[in-house]
Each structure stands twice: as structure tokens, then as C-alpha cells.
Chains A and B, each alone.
Chain A
Amino acid sequence: MGKYLYLQLKRLLRILLPVMLVAAILFGCLALAYQAVVSMTDDTQEQAKIKMGVVGTAGDTFLEMGMLALKTMDSSRFAIDFVQMEEPEAEEAMRKGDIAAFAVIPEGFIDAAMYGEIMPVKYVSTAGAVGLTTLLKDEITKMVEDIVIQTQKGIFGTGDAMRNEGLSSGSAENDLTFKYFDFIFSRSKMYAVSELGNGSAMGLEEYLLSGFCVVLLMLVCLVFAPTMVRRDMSLARVLSANRRPVIAQALCDFAVYMIGLLGVIAVLMIFAVWTGWVDLTVGVFIQWIPVVIAIGGMSFLLYELTTNLISGVLLQFFISLALCFVSGCFYPVTFFPDSVQTLAAYLPTGIARTQLAESFSGVIHISGVLALLGYGGIFLGAAVLIRKGKVALVRG
């Protein structure tokens, strides 16, 4: 079978340039889509913070201190962005939609607070707009108003109490103030913030990148369709008649296909690293090998199942799309029900995505590698059986 393998490699070289070109175009499109999703996620996170104007704090040390504490220490800083501004400026900003609302802290607010009185804070929002978002924003800004008032009251009350007790200066005042802050802000301990579903310290970008890699591999498999779909089994029959068994033919074809896939992936990775788009290491590339064996093996089997190009491409495309979706390559898998998450953990695409994601952090799970190689073996075995059937099926 040496000659057959050599000629299949030669065939691969002949088709590699057009395959590479199409793969590069697909890579470019996918990279743009990935970049768009990543920047959209960043923007969404930024936009998720509600901007709220605060008027009347400028020049007042106590109020500015309170605002600083809210901005830097309070857990509300993740949801609300406080902007100090003048009233006309705040009105203009709200008209433009730059801020959701603004609060005007009235003159004499501090003096009143020091005597235990509450002067109402004027709260201005776009109440005319009706809708869930508006209601939510109004609710949040009202809550913020309460936080501002209560925090300021606490600070002034603390200062007053300290002065009454003769603790008006030195570290004791600061200590008490910070203890108070700690008490006020400890409400953040009432809830836990959880990251998008992955057990490791992986970020969303790495998660999306691993999904991107699996989708890319599926698409590269698709590019090989014209050379992988066998419409005519005559050569396999003649080889079989000449004591070159079907299993040996299939192994040669599979090996050449794997070399082709890894070659294309290697070139694309080198390009991606060279342009500075991603930072990948040789270790990450080695992690691709079991992934390519499993995913490439699956596509090898799908091509073996079909006898014409159109059905081959369609079958490969729709199965890839479905598996990538269920495996969380497009959306984080934690968005799906538990049953789907369990299924994704056992699918070849799911394991491949997890392996690639973890390889970015330098982690290698032998169980994942073995599972991928196992899948590759099963797919190859099934492909050999199907090809045997096709070779022997001569009617007429």
C-alpha cells in the first residue's frame, strides 16, 4: 500500500492550494465574526452599567467623599456609573440618552442631615418612556438614590458622633469611618457573582475562541468535500481485487486526510500568530491532533456515507452546525438546560471544544485526549465497514 499512500499524498499536494485558499477565506470570515462577538460582548458589558448623573456634590467634601466611596468600594459600582455634573449638563445628557437619570442633591442637604433631618433628593428620569427597560432603570435609580442618601447620612452621623465623643482627628476617625463603610458595603456578601459556566479560570474570550476553533475545523473539513466524497468505487474495487484490502485503503485515505487537515490548521494558526491576532503555542497545536482525529474522523465517516457532492456537503454542514450549537461553540453551553449540557459533555465536538479551551491555559486532560482518540477510532471503524459494503455492492 506504500504506492497508494504516496499517490494519495501527491493528490493531497495537488489539491492543497485551492483548499488552502477557500479555508483562508472561511477563516477570515469566521475571525471577523469572532471579533465582532467579542467586541459586542465587551460593549454589552460596558453598556450594562447604567449611567446616573449626580448634581450638587461639587465642592462639598463630605458629598464628594461619599460619591468616591460609592464609585470605588460599593458593589453598586458594577451596575451603576455615577457621573458628577451640573444640572443643565445633566438635563442635556439625559435628553441625549447618555444618562438614565440624575439626582439633584439640594443645597443644605449636609447641614440637614447633621441635624437628623432628611431633605428630599430631586430625582429626574425619563418617566414618559414606557417599557420594561425604562421601568428597570427607574427602579435601579431609585434604589441608588436611597443608597446615596443613606450612605451620606451614615458618614455625617459617624463624623458627628465622633466629634461628640472627642474623636475628631487622627486614625481613629478613619478607622471608624472605614468600619462603617465596611458595614454598609458588606451587603455585597449577600449574593455571589458567578462567571459564565466553566470550571477553570477561563475567560469568555478563550471560551469563544475554543468554539471558534471547533467551527473552523468543521468548515475546513467541509472544504475537503470535493475530494473526499467518492462517487465511483471502481478504484477501491480494483485495488481490493489486487489484494489491497479495503481496510488498508481506508487507513491510507484517513491518514492523508488527517495530514491535510493538520496542514491547513497549522498554516492558519501560524498566520493568526504572525498577525498577532492570537497568541498560541506549539503545545496548543499538539492539542489539535486528537481534536482533528475525532472531528476529522467524523467527517470522514459522513463523506463515506454519501455518494454525491451535494448530499455530502449538506450532510456535513447540517450535522456540524447542530453539533457545534449543542456543544456550546456559538453560545456558552451554560445557557442550555442541564440535559443538553450533559449531552454536550459527551459529544465529540463538546469534548474537542473543552480540550482546546483548556489547552489555552496549558492544561491537558488525558481522559479528554483518550475520549477524542476513541471517537476517532469508532468513526474510522464505521467508515471502513461502510466502505467495505460499498465496494462489494456491485449490481447489474
Chain B
Amino acid sequence: MQIEIKNISKNFKKKAVLRDITLTVEQGKCIGILGANGCGKSTLLSILAGVQPGNSGSFLCDGVDLLKDARKRAQLVGYVPQGTPLIEELTAWDNLLLWYDRAALKKELESGVLQLLGIGDFLKVPVSKMSGGMKKRLSIGCAMAKKPPILLLDEPTAALDLACKQHISEYLQHYKNSGGILLLTTHDVMELSLCDAWYIIRDGVLTPFQYDGDVGKLVESL
């Protein structure tokens, strides 16, 4: 399986935010999308997730345009936005019930993705009392309900402590190793090392970047 992002463009009024974004990702690969704040990284992911329409372009998976087939997109694409897609007043269990059947939820907590994310440790804690790391793990857990082969993550470890970053990076590595396609926007060095290829969005244009661990060079390129 591979995905092909072809000629995606987006204008806000007359300003072009994304210009003909084109990218191909193979199964089991992780792509890091970099860029300065406000360059269009989150906009690109939200278009791919179907939250907002692009002005043009397609998002192909095995020949199916996921931008046009919402049912298929919901099956194949998991989306974790930058904020907290959770109901604050409810517990982790309640939030998971929005996405999982009761039986599947118990199974996943015992020996599935939720067990890998360590969600069982704070199952009865209301979201409002969770740490940032717990919230992010729970958000990923919710996004994984349909076991999507494509995962879109918008700065997944931003503002988290090192232990949380490590935990989430380990899970994403596991996801990638099991054949998933990861597309993530990031500013984080730990996440950069997770990626197999890096791209920078500047002036709405996506250009490949060879990251070799030199942060100084990366900053100059943004």
C-alpha cells in the first residue's frame, strides 16, 4: 500500500497557503513535515483528514481518492489534531467509548493498541485531571479505534515532558514497524529522528530536506 498526495492547493482569500503539494509515501514509512509557524503544515493535514476542503488536488490510496470518498477515508485515516479532541468532563473510558465498541475496547485495553499506549493506567481519570502526555496518548488511542493504516499527527509531542515524548515515540515506531504510514508535522528533534524522510513547507511549496541531525542547518532552511 502507498499513498499519493497530488497537487493539493489551498488559498485563504487571495493568499495561497499551499501550492501543488505532491508527495508519495510507502507503507511502513514516516514522513516529517517541517516549517515555520503558520506555514500551512496543519492546514495540509486537516485537508487530508477531510476537516476542510482544499482548492484542488487529490489524496490517493491504492487508487481511491480519499478526499472524495469520505467512508473510505474514515476507515483508512486516523487523525490526531494539535488540540485535545476529548470530552474534558468525562473519563478516559467514556471518551474511548465514543470510538470503540465495549467489547473491542476491553480487548484493546488487555492486549492491543490501548495497552501499548498504557491507557489502562488512567482509565477512570477525568480528562480535565489528566497530564498533557495522558491526553495525547488517549487522543492517539481514540484515533486508532478503526486500526487505520494511515495516521496523520499534528505536532504529537509538542509541550510534553521527555518521558511522555519517549513513550509516544516508541508507540509511533511500533506503528511504523507494523506497516503503518505516518505523516506528522513537527518541530521536535526526537520526532525528527523517527522519520524516514523530511519535507519543508515554505511559501506554500513543499520541498524535500535531508536531515542529518544538524539542527542549525534545519533552522536556516525554515
| Smallest beta-carbon distance A101→chain B, Å | 68
CB contact between B85 and one of A11, A14, A235 (< 8 Å): that residue: A235
Q: Are A238 and B79 neighbours in the complex by a CB distance under 8 Å? A: yes
Which of A234, A241, A391 has the most C-beta atoms of chain B within 10 angstroms of its own C-beta?
A241
Given contact pairs A227-B89, A241-B50, A241-B79, A7 touches B37 in the complex (Cβ within 8 A): no
Known contacts A227-B89, A394-B43, A396-B41, A241 near B74 by CB under 8 Å: yes
State in angstroms the CA–CA spacing of A28 and B67 once bound together. Answer: 55
B44-64 residues with Cβ-Cβ distance < 8 A to A are: 46, 49-53
Which chain B residues lie closer than 8 Å to A394 at the CB level?
Answer: 42-43, 46, 51-52, 81
Among B90-98, B112-120, B168-176, B204-212, the stretch in contact with A:
B90-98
B-contacting residues, A223-257, CB 8 Å: 227, 232-235, 237-238, 240-243
Chain A interface secondary structure, helix, strand, loop or mixed?
helix
Instruction: Report A1-52 residues with CB < 8 Å from chain B CB.
Output: 3-4, 7-8, 10-11, 14-15
- A187 within 8 A of partner (CB): no
Cβ of A161 within 8 Å of any chain B Cβ, yes or no, is no
Q: Is the CB of A395 within 8 A of B90?
A: no
**In the complex where A394-B42, A394-B46, A396-B43 touch, is A10 in contact with B81 (Cβ < 8 A)?**
no
Query: Which chain B residues lie closer than 8 Å to A233 at the CB level?
Result: 83
Docked CA distance A368–B150 (Å): 53
In the assembled complex, B71 has its CB within 8 A of some CB on chain A: yes
Does B159 belong to the interface (CB within 8 Å)? no
Q: Is the CB of B51 within 8 A of A14?
A: no
B1 at the interface (CB under 8 A from A): no
Q: Which residues of chain B come closer than 8 Å to A393, judged between CB atoms?
A: 52
Q: B18-53 vs A: 1/0 string, CB under 8 Å? A: 000000000000000000011111110010011111
Contact status A238-B37, CB under 8 Å? no
**Given the interface contacts A238-B143, A394-B42, A395-B43, does A11 sit within 8 Å of B83 by beta carbon?**
no
Number of B residues whose C-beta is below 8 Å from A?
A: 37
Which residues of A, 358-396, contact B by the 8 Å Cβ criterion?
A: 391-396
Chain A residues with Cβ under 8 A from B41's Cβ? 396
User: Do B89 and A234 touch (CB < 8 A)?
Assistant: no
Interface centre among B42, B53, B83, B143 (most CB of A within 10 A): B83
List of A residues within 8 angstroms of B98 by Cβ: 3-4, 7
B16 within 8 A of A: no
Q: How far apart sit A7 and B183, CA to CA, in the bound complex (Å)?
A: 30
The number of A-B residue pairs with CB atoms under 8 Å apart is: 82
- Which residue among A234, A391, A393, A394 has the maximum number of chain B CB atoms within 10 Å of its CB? A394
Nearest A residue to B71 by beta-carbon distance? A243
Complex formed: what's the CA distance from A86 to B83 in Å?
Answer: 85
The answer to whether A235 touches B51, judged by C-beta atoms less than 8 angstroms apart, is no
Size class of the contact patch on chain A: 20 to 34
Let me know if B87 and A395 touch, CB within 8 A: no
The one of A14, A235, A237 that contacts B46, using a Cβ cutoff of 8 Å: A237
The B97-118 residues at the A interface (CB cut-off 8 A) are 97-98
- Min Cβ gap B188→A in Å is 16
Nearest neighbor of A6 in chain B, beta-carbon distance: B97
Q: Given that A4-B98, A234-B82, A238-B81 are known contacts, is A11 also in contact with B87, CB under 8 Å in the complex?
A: yes
A7 touches B51 (CB 8 A): no
B85:A237 contact, CB within 8 angstroms: yes
Of chain B, the residue at the smallest CB distance from A12 is B89
B81→A15 contact, CB < 8 A: no
Decide: A237 near B81, CB < 8 A? Known: A7-B90, A14-B89, A243-B70.
yes
B53 neighbours in A (Cβ, 8 Å): 392
Q: Judge whether B87 and A238 touch: CB under 8 Å.
A: no
- Minimum distance in angstroms from B184 CB to a CB of chain A: 14
A395 (CB) vs chain B CBs: closest residue: B43
- A227: chain B residues within 8 A (beta carbon): 89
Q: Which residue of B lies closest to A236 (CB)?
A: B85
| Nearest CB of chain A from residue B86's CB, rounded to whole Å | 6
Tell whether, in the assembled complex, residue A234 and residue B83 are in contact, meaning their CB atoms are under 8 Å apart. yes
CB distance from B160 to the nearest CB of A (A): 16
B211: min CB distance to chain A, Å:
21
Nearest residue (CB) in B for A393 is: B52
* A241 and B42 in contact, given A3-B98, A14-B90, A15-B89 (Cβ under 8 angstroms): no
Q: Is the CB of A392 within 8 A of B51?
A: yes
B59 to chain A, nearest CB (A): 12
Q: Chain B contacts of A392 at CB under 8 A? A: 51-53
Give Cα distance in the complex from A4 to B97, angstroms. Answer: 9
Residue of A nearest to B12 (CB): A395
Cβ of A235: which chain B residues have Cβ within 8 Å of it?
84-87
Is A238 touching B46 in the complex (CB atoms < 8 A)?
Answer: no
CB distance from B204 to the nearest CB of A (A): 13
> Closest B-chain residue to A11, C-beta based?
B89
With both beta carbons as reference points, the residue of chain A lying nearest to B17 in the complex is identified as A395
From known contacts A234-B85, A241-B49, infer whether A396 and B42 are also in contact, taking CB-CB under 8 Å: yes
- Chain A residues within 8 Å of B, Cβ to Cβ: 3-4, 7-8, 10-11, 14-15, 227, 232-235, 237-238, 240-243, 391-396
Which 6 residue pairs across A and B have the least CB separation, nearest first? A234-B83, A394-B46, A234-B85, A392-B52, A396-B42, A232-B83
Task: Given contact pairs A3-B97, A11-B87, A396-B39, enumerate 19 new A-B contacts (beta carbons under 8 Å).
Answer: A3-B98, A4-B98, A10-B94, A11-B89, A233-B83, A235-B85, A237-B46, A237-B49, A238-B80, A238-B142, A241-B77, A243-B70, A391-B51, A392-B52, A395-B17, A395-B42, A395-B43, A396-B38, A396-B43
Name 8 interchain pairs, CB-CB below 8 A, sorted by A. A7-B97, A11-B89, A227-B89, A234-B81, A238-B81, A243-B71, A243-B74, A395-B17
